[in-house]
Amino acid sequence: MVTIACAASGPSLASTDCLTLHRANIPIIAVNSSWHAVPYCSAIYAADCCWWEEHYSAITSSAARWCGDQFTARRFGINCFPSTLPGSYNSGQRAIELAIHLGASRILLLGYDCSIRHGIHWHGNHKLLANPDKFSVARWHDEFSRLKAIAGSTEIINCSRYTRLTCFPRQSLEAVLSL
């Protein structure tokens, strides 16, 4: 079984959880600015060209870098993984798709809060990019549900400490790692 974790930007993301995954030798895909919480991640996925414009030169991690379109990939010399799903998207959703593409049979989610009830991001507001609001949160729920429909036999477990995302089963990270 190949397990890959995805660490998103929800306020529940805890660096201790990320370190637990690292110590268990589970590769981690950091979503957007979450690479700061997971500098030892194996990949960074950000779909938005604007995010790469703002952050590319400051990334000190040696992780593979992925985006969702050819223009951004060429501009920054990074890997492109376009979604197979039509319609709207978010980087957390696309990071899960990337994990499936990379061969994961089990994906563990951290920081996938899908809510702004406890704050916007663990790292505070984006300075130059749009920040989540109640409309984007509602859209995310639909986007993750569409992803679940095409995930096939890939097991996706939401280990976020707090989440409003209900389309994936929930389990504590400790319980998942004791299996």
Residue 81's domain is classified under what CATH number? 3.40.50
- Ranges assigned E (strand) in 32-147: 43-45, 64-67, 79-80, 106-110
Count structural domains, the chain. 1
The total number of residues written for the chain in this structure? 179
> Which domain range does residue 75 map to?
3-177
164 against 24, higher pLDDT:
24
Query: Is-contact 143 89, C-beta < 8 A?
Result: yes
**CA pair distance 71, 76, nearest whole angstrom:** 9
pLDDT at 94 over 70: yes
Q: In what order do the strands lie in the sheet with 155-158?
A: 79-80, 64-67, 43-45, 28-31, 3-7, 106-110, 155-158
Query: Is-contact 151 134, C-beta < 8 A?
Result: no
CA atoms within 13 A on the CB side of 171: 15
Does the reported pTM lie above 0.85? yes
**Tens digits of residue pLDDT in 100-121:** 999 999 999 999 987 667 666 5
